[in-house]
Amino acid sequence: MTNTNPLWKVLLLAGALVIGALFALPNVFGSDPAVQVSSSQGDMPAELTNTVKNALSNAGFTDIEYREEPDRLLALFANEDDQLRGRDAIREVTDAAVTNVALNLVSASPAWLRSFAEPMYLGLDLRGGVHFLMDVDMDAAIASTEQGYVSDWKREVRQARIRGTNIQYRDGKITARFRNAEDRDNMLQNFSAAGPELFFTPRDEDEFFFIDANLSEAAEREERTGALQQNIVTLRNRINELGVAEPVIQQQGLDRIVVQLPGVQDPAKAREILGATATLEYRLVYGSETDWASAGNGGPVPPDARLYRQRGSGAPVLLQRDIIVTGDQIKGASAGIDQQSGGPAVFVNLDSVGARSMLEVTQENVGNPMAVVYIEKKTFTNLVNGVEVEETRDIEEVISIATINDVLSHRFQTTGLTAKEAADISLLLRSGALRAPIQIVEERTVGPNLGKDNIRQGFLSAIVGLAVVIVFMSFYYRVFGMIAGAALVINVVLIVAVLSAPGLQATLTLPGIAGIVLTTGMAVDANVLIFERIREELRAGAGVQAAINAGYDKAFITIADANITTLIAAVVLFSMGTGSIKGFAITLCIGILTSMFTAIFGSRVIVNALFGKRRLKTLPI
């Protein structure tokens, strides 16, 4: 009997090793401190790129590596001190309102390797970064939703031609006052039909008749959940401006959000972006381009209009003061293709309140233009005489103007845009506005030097553990121990490769390194079971080839049972745990799967290649 390897097994092991080594290789090169510059308008303009390069050249930087990408420019520096000086030089010549300047860490691997492989993401404890705990103002979210019904009720009353009414939001409830009970009862039926999510309380006081309303308990719970989830989506999209590879954004409790930004060394900039509040409005366009130009050049603005500027061009435009729909009435938006023109379009879904308002306005304005206004309150940090000074500005700009082609209601589309504009605007509509105000209640910064110490110590512990295991195995099992050691090295390479694989990149934390060390011990445990079984077969008088075959075959069930039970525990940890527990669980899961491959399949291929075709009386085991 001989133990030979089919060609496919050799090719599979060799292919796994080569591919694993390539994807793991970027982690060997480490990372370089960099300053990332991007434009809030989208693609990186050539003028901004030249401005940044000239600023760094004037600041005395002569040997900087630049990486130009469509949406950002990266300037790589030799150390953190140069990185900070470079950031300050760039901020002095750029406008904080339209340019994002952030500190980052980028891969130092060569360009040919970066084209298909990136290093694994490092967690906050390894890379350094900032940690925020944010409190979501749920009461403000509910109040904002309830206030949205005031204008709708007023419109209902006007259409019913009821005089002497007063509708307002006061003391945490919507209140409508009527002069007689008949009008009150009639409008109560209309309000109930239009707002089934409200809980109504009619009451009489003096000579007046009232309707009080609040969101029902079910609607309030839904609003709280929706506000929290919408804020998480909004924060995730805003974090993209910081260029954070793998942020941690998760719910904590019923009204708090945890945000961790590995690699971000500028908490002030992160605070600016995360804490900014924004909203969207739909308004009808007022007048003609001649009126716009006149108002933009200092001319009078009509009392029923407001002057805005268009995004990108800065051209003036007059819009009506009455608002059709606000951002909190938008339930969803997506970019797509207009079926008639074949061009890009943005499809918007409104709630019941917004749909009624949109229906009434568009019925009377088919053929007229409508604008989308993006409004944001942002806090900028500017350098004034070398001192950072915070300044809050309201940014109001028209991001889209389109003609109303038909009567609109719950769902409508905006056309006349490029594909990129459609994608950008749909993103703004979906998550440009925070549904509820947030407040940063806790902020922690982990310095990159501490992260480097953690990486060094974690890497050292993994290497020492691996080396001790290989030495012991080589001493106790001789050549077979060396084969187990080779399988262990392949196992570690494959774990790092999977953690670094595109589309599957996971965040490595300090507990994650512990998971890798643990799987190293578990992987060699499988080889111990196999080798001891081979020894038993040899002592029982079996031939060398029969002993090898029996060792691998008969130990498989025991190894599979032990690894599957551990895998189940790791999956439970991953599904129920958070933060560092997830980091430990994911490396443990990956390590179990790769160790099964290397300890059973990989080591057997090597053993068969060395001893399978040889006639031996004994084995070096």
The model's pLDDT over 150-179, given as tens digits with 9 standing for 90+, comes to: 878 888 888 888 888 888 888 888 888 898
CA distance 544 to 619: 7
Q: Are 21 and 55 in the same domain?
A: no
* Burial letters 334-362, b for 16+ CB under 10 A, else e: bbeebeeeeebbbbbbbbbbbbbbbeebb
More confident residue, 331 or 118: 118
Q: What is the CATH number of the domain that holds 167?
A: 3.30.70
Indicate the residue type of 222: E
Q: Are 489 and 516 in the same domain?
A: yes
Question: What integer pLDDT is reported at residue 388 of this predicted model?
Answer: 64
Q: How confident is the model at residue 426 (pLDDT cuts 50, 70, 90)?
A: low
Residue among 222, 252, 267, 259 at smallest CA distance from 237: 259
Residue among 264, 275, 273 at smallest CA distance from 446: 264
Q: How confident is the model at residue 424 (pLDDT cuts 50, 70, 90)?
A: low
Task: Work out the average pLDDT over 83-96.
Answer: 82
Task: Work out the average pLDDT over 367-384.
Answer: 73
- pLDDT at 2 > cutoff 80: no
Which of 411, 433, 455 marks a domain boundary?
A: 433
Domain contains 338: yes
Residue among 610, 569, 604, 619 at smallest CA distance from 589: 569
pLDDT tens for each residue of 47-87: 888 888 888 988 888 888 888 887 788 889 888 788 888 88
65 HSE (CA, 13 A, CB side): 14
297 φ, ψ (degrees, to nearest 5): -95, 15
Q: What is the CATH number of the domain that holds 22?
A: 1.20.1640.10
Q: What 8-state DSSP symbol labels residue 318? A: E
Question: What integer pLDDT is reported at residue 462 of this predicted model?
Answer: 78
- pLDDT at 483 > cutoff 80: yes
| Two structure tokens written together for 54 | 């000239």
Q: Are 522 and 375 in the same domain?
A: no
Q: Are 498 and 591 in the same domain?
A: yes
How deeply is 495 buried, as exposed, middle or buried, from its count of CB atoms within 10 A (0-12, 13-18, 19+)?
A: buried
Q: What percent of the chain has pLDDT over 90?
A: 1
Enclosing domain of residue 206 = 140-216
Q: Are 484 and 397 in the same domain?
A: no
Q: What is the CATH number of the domain that holds 410?
A: 3.30.1360.200
Task: Work out the average pLDDT over 198-216.
Answer: 88
How deeply is 598 buried, as exposed, middle or buried, from its count of CB atoms within 10 A (0-12, 13-18, 19+)?
A: buried
- pLDDT at 357 > cutoff 80: yes
Residue among 267, 269, 248, 251 at smallest CA distance from 259: 248
CA distance 114 to 117: 5
Residue 481: CB partners within 8 Å, gap ≥ 6? 470, 472, 473, 474, 475, 531
pLDDT tens for each residue of 248-286: 788 887 888 888 887 676 676 677 667 655 567 888 898
Domain contains 286: yes
CA distance 72 to 495: 31
Domain contains 617: no
Q: Are 289 and 353 in the same domain?
A: yes
- pLDDT at 481 > cutoff 70: yes
| Average confidence score pLDDT of the chain | 80
Question: What integer pLDDT is reported at residue 112 of this predicted model?
Answer: 86
Q: What percent of the chain has pLDDT over 70?
A: 85
Q: Are 493 and 538 in the same domain?
A: yes
Q: Are 396 and 472 in the same domain?
A: no
Q: Are 376 and 351 in the same domain?
A: yes
Q: Are 462 and 576 in the same domain?
A: yes
Question: What integer pLDDT is reported at residue 337 of this predicted model?
Answer: 77
Check: CB of residue 262 under 8 Å from CB of residue 510.
no
- pLDDT at 241 > cutoff 60: no
- pLDDT at 21 > cutoff 60: yes
Question: What integer pLDDT is reported at residue 501 of this predicted model?
Answer: 80
CA distance 243 to 90: 17
CA distance 389 to 581: 39
Domain contains 492: yes
Task: Work out the average pLDDT over 512-530.
Answer: 81
Question: What integer pLDDT is reported at residue 484 of this predicted model?
Answer: 87
How deeply is 573 buried, as exposed, middle or buried, from its count of CB atoms within 10 A (0-12, 13-18, 19+)?
A: middle
333 φ, ψ (degrees, to nearest 5): -155, 145
Number of structural domains the chain divides into: 4
Q: Are 86 and 190 in the same domain?
A: no
Question: What integer pLDDT is reported at residue 18 of this predicted model?
Answer: 92
| Two structure tokens written together for 605 | 């291929």
Residue among 465, 510, 472, 452 at smallest CA distance from 491: 465
How deeply is 569 buried, as exposed, middle or buried, from its count of CB atoms within 10 A (0-12, 13-18, 19+)?
A: middle
Domain contains 238: no
Question: What integer pLDDT is reported at residue 423 of this predicted model?
Answer: 61
Which of 404, 433, 462 marks a domain boundary?
A: 433
How deeply is 105 buried, as exposed, middle or buried, from its count of CB atoms within 10 A (0-12, 13-18, 19+)?
A: buried
CA distance 398 to 306: 12
Select the highest-mean-pLDDT range: 224-233, 436-445, 485-494, 536-545. Answer: 485-494
- pLDDT at 429 > cutoff 70: no
CA distance 460 to 500: 20
- pLDDT at 211 > cutoff 60: yes
Which of 433, 459, 491 marks a domain boundary?
A: 433
Q: How confident is the model at residue 290 (pLDDT cuts 50, 70, 90)?
A: confident
Domain contains 341: yes
CA distance 490 to 15: 12
Distances (CA, A) of 115 to 26, 28, 30, 119, 531: 11, 16, 16, 12, 42
- pLDDT at 390 > cutoff 70: no
CA distance 142 to 144: 5
Q: Are 352 and 467 in the same domain?
A: no
Domain contains 503: yes
CA distance 173 to 102: 43
Check: CB of residue 411 under 8 Å from CB of residue 333.
no
Q: How confident is the model at residue 428 (pLDDT cuts 50, 70, 90)?
A: low
Domain contains 368: yes
